[in-house]
Structure 1
């Protein structure tokens, strides 16, 4: 199975050969729990997200990716920040793409559906903020969630 390998400030990381704008969405339900997936390509926990397709806005991509990966329908409610750290390289073993991070972190509100795994997620759960620290996730995802949880007054940019 193709894998995703995340490198951070690692001299053994491959040189980046692409940059693809993508979105991640922190979706909350009525109980203020956060929608989390266990990624099928690396086993780590993450919020749903993926590449923005040509002809689609970042909000449309966020709604589409959330539904595809989780079965949850959401509406986009805001932005946490934009994460573009060139030290974070993502290697996709299926095609040798070594992508520099470019992720827009959005917020969303649950409007329907139920957690359902997909080809991109082996598990989908609503998780209370106090339980996020117990989940294994990549450093970059943990950083994004930390920014979300601190609820800054303006978006984060790097």
Structure 2
């Protein structure tokens, strides 16, 4: 059975290649997905999401749920003007422990305001780019797609 390239993936790759000023062939599609969408790799140290407006909103909704621990720490540190970074926890806690904390926070939110209330507030303040562009918290636009650099 012959595999045919997905035209949507091809369009996204073309938009990203144009944005980066590189040949489309130098981009690789991820084998898995992030927030339900494929990512693209350029070299060994760059990864991007290329999404329509609707896809970006869906992906950001997934990101909210996966990053509750990070959002909570950032909010606490900002509220109390604490000079610390949530990412510092990554080297000190196991991924399993962070996931457990995130799941507990998710349960608290679902049993109070609900996740949609949190997502709506975050999106109303323009946090989509902060949720999706881990590298620079920027949202770029090229040929009908929003581009987010992951790393």
Bucket of the pairwise TM-score, normalised by the shorter protein: under 0.3
Rg larger in structure: 2
What's the TM-score once normalised by structure 1's chain length? 0.23
> Normalising by structure 2, what TM-score?
0.23
Q: Which has the higher helix share?
A: 2
